[in-house]
Amino acid sequence: MCKTEMATELIINNQKIGSKHKPFFIAEAGLNHNGDINIAKQMIDKAIESGADAIKFQTYKSEEFLAESSQYFDFFKNVELSFDEFKELSEYAKEKNFTFFSAPFDIQSADFLNQIDVSCFKIASSDLTNLPLIRHIAKMKKPMIISTGIATMKEVDEAINWCLLEGNDQIALLHCVANYPTLPEETNLNSIQSMIKKFSYPVGYSDNGESTLVDLAAVSMGACIIEKHYTLDKTFDGPDHSFSIEPNNLKQLTSQLTLISKMKGTGLKMPTDSEVSSRNALRKSITARVDIQEGEKLSPENLSVKRPEGGIEPKFWDEVVDKQTKKFIKKDTVIKWNDIA
């Protein structure tokens, strides 16, 4: 789906997401609750305290998305939260007016999340080519955040089209590298700009690495969403904890991301409010180098360029030279147009 005149903003739980707004930060809880709902609740609390905009989990029935012969089946089964537990987590987050959502790995889980009225859906990188799941979720007409790890641009295009064919254009895209952990040098962040140029949807970055420098760089390159793996304690057992961010560092990162967004400004090259107030002190004027008598011809010998502003700007130097003065001008006084003939 090539770029068209579509909305470049997405609204999730009344929060606008796009290039004109501060970065939307998703604390990726994933499976870092280790199958314990109490840890999951603590993760919600700490995410709120740390300035995150949302928390995201993974919802699945192991038997529905993974062959029981898989070497990973037992791990996923051991950390699987029940639908009742997810409902409890959703209600817990809603009580705190905090955005809770999840990535369903199967249609049954997607239907459940829709029933508990999640604010949006996440499509995991592993499901970017899962036509039945994407089409099923798109029909629910809720915002969809689509992660694009291990994908080609053509596959991203196809996934978007499946959503559009179901009448759902509430889409955001996340550049992602599906390696755990992702090293900074393999993040290929220029892909963010490539997707911004091709698609008229908010584009962000889903970070599977430890470095926060990558997230800061991603926002400076146009990402308006950051999703980052998050844990209460990096020393917990589990495959993702070691490269996940802890609450204290998460708080620092969300503050820095907001600051970068402000640093980027409007893109219009014009004086800022602070510059206007200092303009007079910094800019220069054509000034009398010596005392200049009335009727005297102006020349490089009796003119100079000095601070402050307030007189004729130096860019008019050639128009001022050889003009005659109408009055006496004291040394170091700025010269104004009504001073010369």
Mean pLDDT by 10 residues, the chain (341 residues): 57 95 97 97 98 98 96 96 98 98 98 98 98 98 98 98 98 97 97 96 98 97 97 96 97 96 89 83 95 97 95 97 97 97 91
Looking at the fold, whether 208 and 63 belong to one and the same domain comes out as yes
Residues 6+ apart with CB under 8 A from 149: 125, 126, 128, 176, 177, 178, 206, 208
Do residues 115 and 181 share a domain?
yes
Span 189-223, pLDDT tens digits = 999 999 999 999 999 999 999 999 999 999 999 99
Residue at a domain's end among 244, 264, 284 = 264
Task: Say how many domains are in the chain.
Answer: 2
* Whole-prediction pTM: 0.88
Q: Which domain holds residue 322?
A: 273-339
Contact indicator for 34, 236 with CB cutoff of 8 Å: yes
Q: Which helix (H) or strand (E) holds 122?
A: strand 121-123
Q: How far is CA 23 from the centre of its chain?
A: 3
Within this chain, do residues 57 and 135 fall inside the same structural domain, yes or no? yes
264, 284, 306 — which closes off a domain? 264
What does the pLDDT read at residue 4?
39
Shared domain for 257 and 294, answered yes or no, is no
The enclosing domain of 288 has a CATH number of 3.90.1210.10
Q: What is the pLDDT of residue 272?
A: 85
With respect to residue 4, please indicate whether it lies within any of the assigned structural domains. no
